[in-house]
Amino acid sequence: MRSEECVERIMAQVKDAVESLFAQSKEWRGGHWLFDAEHATREAMLDAARVVLQSLVDRRGTGHVGQWHEDEEGERRKFKEYVTRPVDTLVGRITIRRASYHSSTATPGTVQPLDEQLGLRFEFSEGVEEVVAFDASQLTYKETVGVVEKALGLQLSETAVQDIAERWGQEVMETRTPRLPREPVVSRMAVAVDAAKIRTATRRRKRKGSRKQRFEEHWTDAKLGVVYGFDRRGRGNSDKRYMASLRGKEAFGPLLWAQIEASGADRAKHIAWLGDGAEWIWSLKDEHLPHATEILDFQHAQDYLKSVAGAVWPANASCAARWVESRKKRLLHGKVRALITELKELARRVGPPPAKAAPDDPKKIVASSLTYFEHNILRMQYHVYLRMGYPISSGVVESGCRHVIQHRMKITGSMSWSGDRAETMLQLRCLVRSGQWDRFWSLNRIAA
């Protein structure tokens, strides 16, 4: 059909649809008139859009290239037949007619070149898959099924949603790092690192004669890093870029470095690295940004002070609170060494902990707190950081642990993940929360 004929047919359908809407409007309910109007209009326009899309696809052709088709690997297949298939799209179901080529020796044996040209991989269009993947990164699979049915009128199974999310997460995992968009260098940048626990499940071997599949659950660290700019008061800007992994420091480090490089943090005039007392955080910093200023999260330091006060003055809460407030001021004024001296005196007063002391033993608490402050003394120069306008809190990454990881990965207390599915979901979450979803997929499609 010529393009002029297609346009005329579509315009006639639109005209009929509009006239029908005007006629129907007399019957729409008072008090809910706009509700009825918008739904009827949406359905009519979707019908028209479906005709347009079907016409565009029909004009694209069948992918027929002659008697033989040769792929990129040089495999040749012979034309066999034309095959039609339904495809659910953002505007409804259309039908695609494709040329099919076959070879008994090639792998795969049968191909339809038009599928690759259109980006068709499974039963849904790429547009539908994107919506599903995006929704699944925010909601449970069951909730996503409901949202997609309400918004698009499509019925999917939870398994289909899970498979789509996993495929798109896998693509992010494989291609995000080399294709991160380069951003202009900001003079003041921070990198903050932390970890959150995710319950993961490992499939166990079935017992002999049993049909029931058994799983072993355990908690796994999801390491999270965030790169962001900050102003002269240490306040972070709104452009925060996240990277995460469940696969340990060795896998997480290169991901974080790719984000640091893309964000220009490695070239910033002022660069701060924030974290708690976990040793892996600081060894990661030495690997990737040895020149960055190390800053121990001030809140963690306060928590240790509170633990000490509770251990030394368990029956006098007001005394403990006054002690904590005064020692916080010492920290902020750069008197860390004086505080360590005082902690040594408290440790001497309560005595050394027994060899097998429990974590809540007052002697153990004081001794471990003293070790913590001694070990991190060079990361607690808060008076210097404040004077330089650096952040002293790792609250940005701790907040990220909640809204990037836990809000999706721990929606329910009993939720558990297979390692691979958790990893791909983390990649989707980081992409969304970094505000890079649309930009990444547009760049990815151009590169492909």
What dihedral angle (degrees, nearest 10) is formed by the CA atoms of 390, 395, 400, 405? 140
Q: How far is CA 142 from the centre of its chain?
A: 19
CA distances from 200 to 161, 164, 256 (A): 20, 20, 23
Residue 371: per-residue pLDDT: 95
CA distances from 308 to 109, 299, 442 (A): 70, 14, 53
Rounded Cα gap, residues 89 and 67, in angstroms: 30
CB 423 within 8 A of CB 243: no
Residue 406: per-residue pLDDT: 93
Residue 208: per-residue pLDDT: 61
Task: Please compute the mean of the pLDDT values over residues 60-73 and round it to a whole number.
Answer: 94
Residue 299: per-residue pLDDT: 95
Q: Which of 13-22, 84-93, 127-136 has the lowest mean pLDDT?
A: 13-22
**202 or 242, higher pLDDT:** 242
Residue 307 has pLDDT above 70, yes or no: yes
Residue 85: per-residue pLDDT: 94
**pLDDT > 70 in the chain, percent:** 96
Give 212-221 pLDDT, tens digit per residue: 656 678 889 9
Residue 2 has pLDDT above 80, yes or no: no
Residue 294 has pLDDT above 80, yes or no: yes
Q: Which pTM does this prediction carry?
A: 0.88
- pLDDT bin (cut points 50, 70, 90) of residue 61 is very high
Closest CA to 274 of 309, 226, 239, 240: 226
Give 326-376 pLDDT, tens digit per residue: 999 999 999 999 999 999 999 999 899 988 889 889 999 999 999 999 999
Residue 357: per-residue pLDDT: 87
Closest CA to 192 of 239, 226, 240, 221: 226
**185 or 447, higher pLDDT:** 185
Rounded Cα gap, residues 428 and 136, in angstroms: 9
3-class DSSP assignment, residue 191 = strand
- pLDDT bin (cut points 50, 70, 90) of residue 1 is low
Rounded Cα gap, residues 298 and 275, in angstroms: 9
Residue 206: per-residue pLDDT: 60
Residue 197: per-residue pLDDT: 93
Task: Please compute the mean of the pLDDT values over residues 1-11 and round it to a whole number.
Answer: 80
- pLDDT bin (cut points 50, 70, 90) of residue 149 is very high
**pLDDT > 90 in the chain, percent:** 74
Residue 13 has pLDDT above 90, yes or no: no
Residue 127: per-residue pLDDT: 94
Residue 210 has pLDDT above 70, yes or no: no
Tell me the pLDDT of the chain averaged across its residues.
Answer: 91
CB 95 within 8 A of CB 132: no
Task: Please compute the mean of the pLDDT values over residues 12-35 and round it to a whole number.
Answer: 88
CA distances from 100 to 53, 85, 97 (A): 22, 12, 10
